[in-house]
Amino acid sequence: MTTISDAKVLITCPGRNYVTLKITTSDGVTGIGDATLNGRELSVASYLRDHVCPLLLGKDPSCIERIWQYLYKGAYWRRGPVTMTAIAAVDVALWDIKGKQAGLPVYQLLGGAVRDGVTVYGQASGEDIPQLLDDVGRILDRGFRAVRAQAAVPGVERVYGVPDGGRTGEQAGGGRPSVEGWDTGRYLNWVPRYMATVRQEFGHGFHLLHDVHHRLTPIEAAHLGKSLELFRMFWIEDPTPAEDQEAFRLIRQHTTTPLAVGEVFNSIWDCQYLITERLIDYIRTSVSHAGGISHLRKILSLAELYGVRSGAHGAGDLSPVSFAAALHVDLSVQNFGMQEYMEHLPPYQDVFKTTWTFEDGLMHPGDAPGIGVEYDEEAAARFAYDPKYLPVNTLADGSVHDW
């Protein structure tokens, strides 16, 4: 019988930190999974290295669901971002192995493609409205069919989604977490103004999205949703901190702007209420933070019953392995909605050799057996781990606000 003969954790920082689990079988097949949890990387690395890798040795790598249940139920302590990211890394590595053994890309093992390609949204931002418009134009010129728009808010020093120094998607920094400020009133006043100019300038022939990043109260989110209705958003994302799920009922009673949530969720139990009560339109859990391909597929099957579509998180702090895995899932589920694409920062491609393609706004994971990403360990060794934190948000009186 083929068994797992090695499982090791690899940490590298080609532009940003990535943790990768590499599993090797007794007949020499390797598989990789993303274990990156931005700003808390070493806790997942330790969870895997100290508690999971030793348990994998000798197991049959073909039993993906059985190993998943063994790790989930066997730990006794359940859920949480660290546990579920670690389990996800094992799961994706095992799917990668199964694909390579079968000589098939993973999406074929999941039932095959239900669409030609995966619609992804590009990221546009600006320090002011002219800059934002330039950026939206640039993204549309590249062929994207969907754009997320985020602009700086006058009077607020730094705002989520507007890169400092032009490194789109990089928000973590060294030393102690940087402190950003927040002002809900200014934000609520400003967003409809810039969305109006985006639609005036570019029309309605593309999907427009926006990430609120958990910053509003339910009634403020309801107000934002109403004020954006004319601009027909594809979604507004994370309008409120989603621990309070009943809040979405209030938002929904007031607005027809579609709602997306879920990037900080890590299990089907976090999604169940919002889906079954039809309080959201898109569920944004990711492969790598929600238990891997096996678990995400269960979440999306539940969502399909209730007309909720997928919208997987695809920030640059999820490694190319995670992004490729998401493309395989997106291609194979009927209730796909939209995939975020935050384009990894160079020199990531020194370490991660990918096979995905982008054409005319659609992505495809490619037809290489497995996930379609190879990891260059020699190159990875050149980029040492670099501790970084996400920023913290405070209000004018110094109290901490959701970032």
Q: Which residues are known to be catalytic?
A: 160, 213
List beta partners, residue 12. 18
Candidates 211, 220, 270, 317: give the one binding Mg ion (CB under 5 A).
211
Least distance CB 235 / Mg ion (angstroms): 11
Give the residue among 339, 315, 286, 12 at the shortest CA–CA distance from 172: 315
Q: How far is CA 6 from the centre of its chain?
A: 28
Candidates 212, 259, 315, 325: give the one binding ligand GCO (CB under 6 A).
315
Site string for ligand GCO, 245-264 (x = CB under 6 A): ------------------x-
Query: How far is it, in rounded angstroms, from Cα 22 to Cα 4?
Result: 11
Least distance CB 339 / ligand GCO (angstroms): 11
Query: How far is it, in rounded angstroms, from Cα 361 to Cα 168?
Result: 19
For the chain, report the end-to-end CA distance as a whole number of angstroms. Answer: 49
Candidates 38, 227, 285, 335: give the one binding ligand GCO (CB under 6 A).
38
Q: Give whichever of 171 and 354 is closer to ligand GCO, judged by the CB atom.
A: 171
Q: Does residue 340 touch ligand GCO according to CB under 6 A?
A: yes
Comparing every residue's Cβ against Mg ion, the nearest one is 211
Q: Give whichever of 177 and 366 is closer to ligand GCO, judged by the CB atom.
A: 177
Q: Give whichever of 220 and 263 is closer to Mg ion, judged by the CB atom.
A: 263
Query: How far is it, in rounded angstroms, from Cα 389 to Cα 40?
Result: 8
Q: 79 contacts which partner out of ligand GCO, Mg ion, none, CB within 5 to 8 A by kind? A: none
Q: Does residue 135 touch ligand GCO according to CB under 6 A?
A: no
Q: Does residue 344 touch ligand GCO according to CB under 6 A?
A: no
Q: Does residue 170 touch ligand GCO according to CB under 6 A?
A: no
Query: How far is it, in rounded angstroms, from Cα 328 to Cα 95?
Result: 11
Q: Does residue 342 touch ligand GCO according to CB under 6 A?
A: yes
C-alpha dihedral, 92 to 75 to 7 to 102, nearest 10°: -40
Give the residue among 264, 259, 289 at the shortest CA–CA distance from 274: 259
Site string for ligand GCO, 189-228 (x = CB under 6 A): ----------------------x-x---------------
Count other Cβ atoms within 10 Å, centred on residue 68. Answer: 20
Q: Are strands 357-359 and 30-34 parallel, antiparallel or unpaired?
A: unpaired
Burial 315-334 (b: 16+ CB within 10 A, else e): bbbbbbbbbbbbbbbbbbbe
The burial of 43, by beta-carbon neighbours within 10 Å (0-12 exposed, 13-18 middle, 19 or more buried), is given as middle
Q: 281 contacts which partner out of ligand GCO, Mg ion, none, CB within 5 to 8 A by kind? A: none
Q: Does residue 339 touch ligand GCO according to CB under 6 A?
A: no
Peptide bond into 192 cis (omega under 30): no
Least distance CB 327 / ligand GCO (angstroms): 16
39-98: which residues touch ligand GCO (CB under 6 A)? none
Sheet holding 392-394, edge to edge: 179-181, 392-394, 400-401
Q: Where are the alpha helices (DSSP H) in 110-169?
A: 129-141
Q: Give whichever of 171 and 240 is closer to ligand GCO, judged by the CB atom.
A: 171
Q: Which stretch binds ligand GCO (CB under 6 A): 68-76, 84-92, 129-137, 312-320?
A: 312-320
Q: Which two tokens stand for residue 342?
A: 């935050």
Q: 340 contacts which partner out of ligand GCO, Mg ion, none, CB within 5 to 8 A by kind? A: ligand GCO
Q: Give whichever of 22 and 213 is closer to ligand GCO, judged by the CB atom.
A: 213
Count other Cβ atoms within 10 Å, centred on residue 304. Answer: 16
Q: Give whichever of 211 and 220 is closer to Mg ion, judged by the CB atom.
A: 211
The residue count for binding ligand GCO (CB under 6 A) is 11
Query: How far is it, in rounded angstroms, from Cα 178 to Cα 70?
Result: 39
Least distance CB 174 / ligand GCO (angstroms): 15
Q: Does residue 390 touch ligand GCO according to CB under 6 A?
A: yes
| Interface residue list for Mg ion (CB under 5 A) | 211
| Interface residue list for ligand GCO (CB under 6 A) | 38, 171, 211, 213, 263, 313, 315, 317, 340, 342, 390
